[in-house]
Amino acid sequence: FALLLQTVTFGANVDPISYSCSNENFTANGRYQTNLNALMGYIYHQAPPTGFGIGSLGKNPIQANGLALCRGDVSASDCKTCVADAISTIRENCPYSKSAKIFYDNCMLKYSNDKFFGQIDNGTKYFMWNVNNVGYPVIFNQKSKDLLRQLADEASGKPKLYAAGELELNEGSKKKIYGLAQCTRDLSYNDCKMCRDRIISDLPRCCDGKQGGKVVTGS
């Protein structure tokens, strides 16, 4: 979720928001690594046209499963750049991990030897917020939640599981709140809404009274 959006230009040296590596490792130059390398190449080519790539290669216990999701308002070109950065960075920082996740502002990528598709993933959750406070926190907090609930409902009914919008702070006011909500497309509509409803309930932990905020999970 992002209450306030920025335009971000991706390049080769853009740092990720965060990443995580599993403690379980695979054998170097083994069959799992071969499957994972091929899967990353497949996702790199699959994701940019639609903003989403998903796939599995191999059979248990050496099956590699992965997906990449780009933010719904990101161009195919920026999506491709972000996914390339994600694959390069996560393989460099988690070279032998059987599962890993990485998050950028424009995309996310995760892979695992376990088939996680269709399951809500709240195991990794990151909170980010603007350090500046608003001058009208009570109404801002309420309106931001109203907007995100509205977007959660809209996104859950759309094929891309994505929605973005804005809301006036007061009727006739020039001040607005902007937001977006999005799920990975392996989730059902109901699970997508359930996931986002949980995240909206977490917002007070980080972002009440802040000019902007974001909560990111594996779903």
Higher local confidence (pLDDT), 76 or 2: 76
Has residue 5 been placed in a domain? no
pLDDT tens digits, residue range 118-139? 999 988 889 999 999 999 899 9
- pLDDT, residue 106, reads 96
Under 8 Å between Cβ of 169 and 136: yes
- Domain's final residue, options 89, 112, 135: 112
Q: Which residue is listed with tokens 């309420």?
A: 142
Confidence of residue 13 (pLDDT cuts 50, 70, 90): low
Residues 67, 34 share a domain: yes
Residues 205, 139 share a domain: yes
- pLDDT, residue 53, reads 97
- What domain count does the chain have? 2
Residues in the chain: 219
- Structural domain including 108 reads 18-112
Element (H, E) at 214: strand 213-217
d(CA 172, CA 214): 27
Instruction: Give the 3-state secondary structure of 7-64.
Output: CCCCCCCCCCCEEEECCCECCCCCHHHHHHHHHHHHHHHHHHHHCEEEEEECCCCCCE
- pLDDT, residue 204, reads 87
Residues 156, 94 share a domain: no
Residues 6+ apart with CB under 8 A from 24: 97, 98, 99, 113
> pTM for the complete prediction?
0.89
Cβ–Cβ contacts within 10 Å for residue 3, how many? Answer: 24
Encode 31-53: b = buried (16+ Cβ within 10 Å), e = exposed.
ebbebbeebbebbbebbbeebbb
Instruction: State the average pLDDT for the chain.
Output: 91
Average pLDDT for 152-161? 92
CATH number where 106 lies: 3.30.430.20
Has residue 119 been placed in a domain? no
Confidence of residue 6 (pLDDT cuts 50, 70, 90): very low
Average pLDDT for 180-184? 96
Instruction: Give the 3-state secondary structure of 96-117.
Output: CECCEEEECCCEEEEEECCCCC
Confidence of residue 12 (pLDDT cuts 50, 70, 90): very low
Average pLDDT for 98-112? 97
Residues 31, 92 share a domain: yes
Helices (H), 62-182: 76-93, 137-156
- Domain's final residue, options 78, 112, 146: 112
Has residue 183 been placed in a domain? yes
- pLDDT, residue 173, reads 73
Q: Taking 60 as the threshold, does the pLDDT of residue 179 lie above it?
A: yes
pLDDT tens digits, residue range 48-98? 999 999 999 999 999 999 999 999 999 999 999 999 999 999 999 999 999
User: What token pair was written down for 2?
Assistant: 């992002």
